[in-house]
Structure 1
Amino acid sequence: KKRWLPGCASGNIITAVAMTEPGTGSDLAAIRTIAVKDGKDYVINGQKTFISNGINCDLVIVAVKTDTKAEPPFKGISLLCVEAGTPGFEKGRKLDKMGFHSQDTAELNFVDCRVPVANLLGEEGQGFFYLMKKLQGERLVTSIMAQSMAEAMLQMTIKYSRERTIFGKPISSFQHNTFKIVEMATEIELGRTFLDNLICDYIAGEDIVMKVSMAKAWIPEMANRVAYQCVQLHGGYGYMEEYPICRFARDVRVIPIFAGTTEGMKVIVGKMMGL
């Protein structure tokens, strides 16, 4: 904590969390990156992909298998802190994404990467539980992100629809378009109400796993429906990069995918409902 947290808080240390691998996404227990203890070190070998801040990170928390024979497999997962510049740690290709161009996403490679045993975050074999506990906060943040984007897209579209005229009338005045805007506004209001309640539960320290999974499954999908309709209401201008709605539509598409897919969230909710 003394070594890294002050820099994380000040912004001098950029961090990344490396979980996803080329063949492993939602099924975290199936990761193949291993860390073998060798004296006072761990030796890491494996590959990660889709890692946010992968190129710019100064410190990466890597999910590894420290016990490849653990049953069930998730009990063999640990978290190791690896600093940029560590021999054997290579920042690979910066991925060319559809959106989110302001944030780098990268492949990371570990080839006989040696880190001290002291770089173990928490206890060995507890990495899966740490991640599952803290992912609820990440899913709340991404739901807030989607909700905020939906609200912003609606506002810019209402403004455009009032100013743009066709056949001598604002496009917002045509009943079909009015209904579309009202439908979006209704869904957005529902999302905001649910999210505000969820934030209160989180602040109160309540268990939010089921509700936050519902939020992550529904709000980003709602934001993508809003993006589609807002681009449509902008017409050809909505497809032009000079209009913000174009970027919003590209950027919002990934939110139902990262931090837990829509489908994964529904599986969690279904299990908690006893289905």
Structure 2
Amino acid sequence: MKVLITGATGLVGNELIKILLQNGISVNYLTTSRGKIANENNYKGFFWNPSVGEINEEAFTNVDVIVHLAGATVAKRWTNSYKQEIMNSRIDSTKLLYKTLERINHQVSQIVSASAIGIYPDSLTKVYHETDLEVDNSFLGNVVKQWEEEVNQFKNLDILVAKIRIGLVLSKNGGALQEMVKPIKIGTGAAFGSGEHYQSWIHIQDLAAVFYHIIQYKREGIYNGVSPYPVTNSQLTKAIAKTLGKPLFLPNIPKFVMKLILGDMHQLLFSSQHVSSRKLLDENFQFKYASLDKALHDLLK
């Protein structure tokens, strides 16, 4: 089997590539950086530039599955121009993959795309499942909705479509956890707002394993890429401090303060989505790091 990955050099891509290669699956990947093109027996890079519609069609040779992870990070200040980049990077790249497959001979039978739990409306009480159809009335909600609609087009090419709605990814190599660790380490850590909003998280290794599970068993449809035990922001902050052996003595950080500092991007820190992974559990998917304590111990010790 051969898998083509977009966004391969990001957190999730790096972890997924390890699993695929360990299981004898060859990897092709598309990159916008010519300096990141490798050429090994089972690991080959190809250039693309979705913003101008450029792609090396050789990337699709003998590919069975596409894993689509490409998209500009949302963890950067949301100016109007950057909001456009967040949207365009997802839509343009998806359209380019589709148009390419439409015109070439290929054997792709499945696309597995990243998505985000930001599509679910902000709620302190509701538990969200893959069958919930409401979309959050926010910039991120709109981005995810349009992204998923674009990915759904691949069904027109008789390709199985799977979308993984990813929660807060915990990793030792960057991402949200490392940003939360910094202030706690120097004694300035605190929960945000009331601290009661839910954060549905997942360990990076488990997330990569979710992608592999969906490839391995040829699944389609929506999957929530979150651990079985979401926590509140307050619980997460306290658990990080406890793992690091650091005290928390500052009051919670008010929402208006973070809005002043981050602008619209502050929504990432205050939005509440209690998301269920029951669908994965029902398919006998085994989480290696189901509990937050176990995940933090692995990543921070």
TM range (shorter): 0.3 to 0.5
TM-score, length-scaled by structure 1 = 0.33
Bigger radius of gyration: 1
Work out which structure has the larger RCO, using CA pairs closer than 8 Å and 6 or more positions apart in sequence. Answer: 2
Which has the larger helix fraction? 1
